[in-house]
A and B are shown apart, each in its own frame.
Chain A
């Protein structure tokens, strides 16, 4: 994969910030590829341990993609906002492909390895959450965004406050309400 010239991304971010929506369409695949590639690398041999820290990953993508000499503070928060969206899509795409993949019919017995411990349940849970989040965003776009930024983007409340230009307290309140509602939606459709 060839890496896009840095100024393009910086430029596109600036355009998007200034209200050019088509800039987002161009930005999206560039960031998608980079994030996907990084996520895979994080999960492979270079990064052991078992967690995938989204913020670290997005930060790394940001440093790689965006021209550091020409940084505008708002670029970073905008970059995080779309990265959250993209991370969500990457994970949901994977979940969708995995959810119904036949796994030898023995998903309930597990053996000795991590890999065997990955059941389609995880994917289905994620897909259900995604669906519920879509419904939430229809009723209440801002709360939907708070969840996206925090859960998929790995941002903390202060960062989210910065991106959405609201107070951190409002973020906390939004999060409480959104999480309760999502929990309710999911517990109504889940057995466990």
Chain B
């Protein structure tokens, strides 16, 4: 962008953002006159401004966000591995390293006796050589595991091989709540409630068995990718490591004793309860406190207690009332959070169950409210399956997608049938869309097949939305709408330096939907139809542009004629590529509302046209 243009945009933007939304539109229109591209740029920037402030983009400080980089590099050095891939370890075969830290190293391993995949944690030697502590840990792990509660990570085995003490647990394919928060920036309130309800369900079961976790924090909560089931990790571990430090005598105050290997800060004291901070006697109510802190953080994006040094933080934990939550937060939620974080344990929720009940009630209330707000939208009931047609042939060396004509898997079909089945149980109620309200709705989901050493492993699973894919994953994208309309799907590769963007027409084509962009209500479009998408070696973001329109889009109809089997559906004409690019960039300015469900993502927009980029990042 040249500086004059930038100044022009900046001048309009500056005044526009200070106006209220209605006045803003007419102001921008007036300032831009007939310069449509200027207007599009200003509007795009205003939209970005709103999103950036909503998400508090770069709102903190770089050093805060990047602090872990300083630790890992300077203090820890590269992670060390005790075991190598392929190595036999007792009855386990090591498949991969998953992580390392003060509580030991964690590996992905295969249990050869039962032929199942497990997470194998090797405890640091100095912990494992303390018999008394080990015994207690073993005891607690055993009890926690015997609870058999779906939100508690299952412990399979606790043992020793060649002087190394290990813990074999269920392997959860997912991410920690910490990573989840980092990635999502802002979670929906019902999702926040849902996660905390599951954490409390785990705690409830543990507390019933007189087990206190003592280290509830986002790092110890995992969210399974497949179904978003929450798993609480490390019951019984906190006490073992806590003890270890105070025995070591390195720290002056037990309260700050959350250390691991020399120099690495392991945990954080921000979730510690006042009684823990004072090194006093703790019981199950310490977990209620920590859950309250976590809930506060998830709702506000900030830690309730966070000082420059640990001593400052501890003073805050002991004395400071957390700052009030924002006005948009339901008063009931604030009440729940504050009750969980009462300084005096007697004033807190006395049991996890009580807090869980309150959160559940609130969640229900919000859902009912949302349902009332949504009554005008049509329901999706019928899902049909497109008959498989000959596989789409494409594969351009510049593009990341390469089609693999490997096995034909039936997952997608099974998945679709399941939807159909569940819909049969509830008789279809088709609410006609009032003619005056134009709306476009599109749903999509992604099926992932994981590969390991060139072979598929684990059954394919559906994802509601895109994640950062591993290079070895193969995927399929499924698109459907409850409405009839014209669907166009284009693939745009990662940006290249010099060359103009080229698009591949993914849908429709001579092999997809009989070369017609018109799809029926409920028709499921699967991409690719028979095979899978495989990522190229080059890392980057692959974009699948979804365009769903009530009427046929002339520009796109013309452009897609240039995509022929000969050119492997790649639009080879520069002018046509520009037409597509202009269309996508201008029309994607108005973003559809995005809603992520358990199994699929739903896009909705007022009007006749919906444009949405599905970003497929892989590394």
Contact = CB atoms under 8 A, between A and B. Distances in A.
A109 B96 CA distance: 11
Interface string A39-58: 11001111111111110110
A40 B468 contact: no
Interface in B37-64: 44-46, 48-49, 51-53, 57-58, 61-64
A173 B49 CA distance: 11
B48 A117 contact: no
A50 B468 CA distance: 26
Contacts of B470: 108
B175 interface: yes
Contacts of B467: 108
A151 B58 CA distance: 7
A16 B512 CA distance: 67
Contacts of A3: none
B310 A118 contact: no
A177 interface: yes
Contact of A122 (B61, B66, B219, B259): B66
Q: For the side of the interface on B, what is the size category? A: 35 or more
A110 B121 CA distance: 12
A49 B99 contact: no
B99 A39 contact: no
Contact of A52 (B63, B179, B307): B63
B198 interface: no
A182 to B, nearest CB: 7
A158 B178 CA distance: 33
A176 B45 CA distance: 10
B69 A45 contact: no
Nearest to A192: B183
B518 interface: no
Interface in A15-70: 39-40, 43-54, 56-57
A111 interface: yes
A123 interface: yes
Q: For the side of the interface on A, what is the size category? A: 35 or more
Q: Identify whether the interface residues of B are mostly helix, strand, loop, or mixed.
A: mixed
B615 A49 contact: no
Given A48-B256, A50-B306, A180-B48, A110 B176 contact: yes
A109 B263 CA distance: 24
A101 B46 CA distance: 37
Given A47-B310, A115-B72, A191 B45 contact: no
B64 A51 contact: yes
A115 B259 CA distance: 12
Contacts of A108: 173, 175, 225, 467-468, 470
B75 A40 contact: yes
B608 interface: no
B64 A54 contact: yes
A166 interface: no
A116 B100 contact: yes
Interface stretch (B76-84, B155-163, B552-560): B76-84
B96 A106 contact: yes
B541 A122 contact: no
Nearest to B220: A112
Interface in A135-163: 139-140, 147, 151-152, 154
Contact of B306 (A49, A105, A119, A151): A49
B103 interface: yes
A13 interface: no
A165 interface: no
A2 interface: no
A56 B172 CA distance: 39
A57 B222 CA distance: 33
Given A49-B313, A126-B66, A177-B13, A44 B75 contact: yes
Contacts of B71: 43-44, 115
B44 A184 contact: yes
Contacts of B303: 51
B52 A104 contact: no
Contacts of A52: 61, 63-64, 67, 70
Interface string B119-163: 101000000000000000000000000000000000000000000
Nearest to B78: A101
Nearest to A40: B74
Interface string B1-42: 101001000100110010000000000000000000000000
B264 A115 contact: yes
Contact of B66 (A95, A109, A110, A183): A95
A78 interface: no
A49 B119 contact: no
Given A47-B310, A113-B101, 16 more contacts: A39-B63, A40-B70, A46-B309, A53-B61, A94-B66, A104-B96, A106-B96, A108-B173, A109-B172, A111-B99, A116-B101, A116-B176, A177-B45, A177-B49, A180-B52, A190-B541
18 contacts: A49-B310, A51-B64, A51-B303, A53-B64, A87-B63, A98-B69, A98-B72, A110-B99, A113-B102, A114-B265, A114-B266, A116-B101, A117-B219, A122-B66, A182-B57, A182-B58, A183-B51, A183-B52
